[in-house]
Amino acid sequence: MFTSLQVPSQCSEVHYEVELGVVISTGGKNIPESSALSHVGGYTLALDMTARDIQSAAKKKGYPWSVAKGYDTFCPVSSFIEKDKIVLDDCRLWLKVDGETKQDGSTKNMIYSVPFLISYISGIFTLEPGDVIITGTPEGVGPVKPGQTLTAGIEGVLEMTFPVVSA
Amino acid sequence: MFTSLQVPSQCSEVHYEVELGVVISTGGKNIPESSALSHVGGYTLALDMTARDIQSAAKKKGYPWSVAKGYDTFCPVSSFIEKDKIVLDDCRLWLKVDGETKQDGSTKNMIYSVPFLISYISGIFTLEPGDVIITGTPEGVGPVKPGQTLTAGIEGVLEMTFPVVSA
């Protein structure tokens, strides 16, 4: 259990990415888009932290990126959000660094819809209850430094705050 | 629970990679190489199945590879192997397709030793009890097709067999 976001000493540039998380309640394989939302139990707010320097170096070499998103504390999520609290057609997500708005977008601008993502992913592997799908971030990603404070929210639903520390 | 290896319809080339799996019993962060083996509870034999076509396409684009190793049934492991059954300095791993030997190597030729891997990985994220680290494969990887049978083993310890089916 972590209560702060760590910037590891190995990383020179750690970026925030605020994202909607989809919590799967009923698993399945090859789920059609038309029934995908019946597999959703609720939502969560996620910060998909990314070591951009590590990711960029891996991309150039054709190496896997997993490590760039895998440091301790890199994907904090909020408490569980009941399904009927989120209006998927237009859910506003925002992120502030030290109180200054950096990201402010709506799920209406998603490149891939939640039903598409569930259908696509379940065509690759079986989804299980409790799996969380994070769904991509609005414009405005950028670096965060130790000493700053990240606050992210879903308008009208919840917000969460993390101090950023070095590790 | 799966008892066969699936070749997904989306993949034109699925490769076997026989590997030693290391089962962590005591977690930790920044574990030094000198004490790394005290964090090992035992071992397992793993088949790190890889959709080589999907992986190659992702590498070219600088995309993540996770999906290429993430299809259902892609990393079967054997039963748990007690720690004292494995001689890490020279443990022989082999793999046969339809009875024909395709891979036959020893851990003495590993590029990265087990203590190095534990130390390196735990420098990125905290290892937890039950985590399994797979450690790389000997030469001889190649494709497998539905209808074939994969058998893999650790000399003198165990072997496991999987029929290959289409999915």
Phi-psi region of A147 (alpha: psi -120 to 50; beta: other; left: phi over 0): left
For chain A, percent of residues with pLDDT exceeding 90:
93
Query: Per the CB < 8 Å rule, is A10 touching B125?
Result: no
How many Cβ pairs within 8 Å bridge chains A and B? 34
Closest CB to A65: pick one of B60, B64, B70.
Answer: B64
Strand B5-7, strand B158-166: pairing: parallel
A34 has pLDDT over 80:
yes
ipTM of this model?
0.89
Cβ–Cβ gap B124/A10 under 8 Å: yes
DSSP A167: -
The b-or-e profile of A32-42 (16+ CB within 10 A means b, else e) is eeeebeebbeb
Among candidates A66, A72, A124 on the partner chain, residue whose Cβ is nearest the Cβ of B126: A72
Task: Tell me the C-alpha distance between A166 and A145, whole Å.
Answer: 8
- Rounded to whole angstroms, the Cα distance separating A80 from A43 reads 6
CA distance B59 to chain A (A): 4
Give the span between the Cα atoms of B80 and B150, in whole angstroms: 19
pLDDT-derived band at A62 (thresholds 50, 70, 90) equals confident
Q: Which two tokens stand for residue A166?
A: 């070095």
Encode pLDDT of A84-133 as tens digits: 999 999 999 999 999 999 999 999 999 999 999 999 999 999 999 999 99
3-state secondary structure B72-117: CCCCCECCCEEHHHCCHHHCEEEEEECCEEEEEEEHHHCCCCHHHH
What pLDDT was estimated at residue B3? 87
Are A40 and A24 spatial neighbours (Cβ–Cβ below 8 Å)? yes
pLDDT, averaged in runs of 10, over chain B (167 residues) = 87 96 98 98 98 93 90 96 96 98 97 97 97 97 97 97 96
User: For residue A1, what pLDDT is reported?
Assistant: 54
Distance, in Å, from the CA atom of A42 to the CA atom of A22, rounded to the nearest integer, reads 6
Bridge-partner residues for A86, per DSSP? none
Which residues of chain A make contact with B133, given a CB cutoff of 8 A? none
| pLDDT value at residue A46 | 98
Question: Could you read off the pLDDT of A37-59 as tens digits, one per residue?
Answer: 999 999 999 999 999 999 999 99
- Nearest Cα neighbor of B49 from B81, B78, B17 is B17
Question: What residues have CB less than 8 Å from B10, skipping those under 6 apart?
Answer: A123, A124, B51, B54
- Helices and strands of chain B, counted as H and E runs: 2, 12
Per-residue pLDDT, A47: 97
| A44: its two tokens | 């969560």
pTM assigned to the model: 0.93
Report the alpha-carbon distance of residue A77 to residue B8 in Å, rounded.
Answer: 32
What pLDDT was estimated at residue A3?
A: 87
CB < 8 Å to A67, chain B: 124
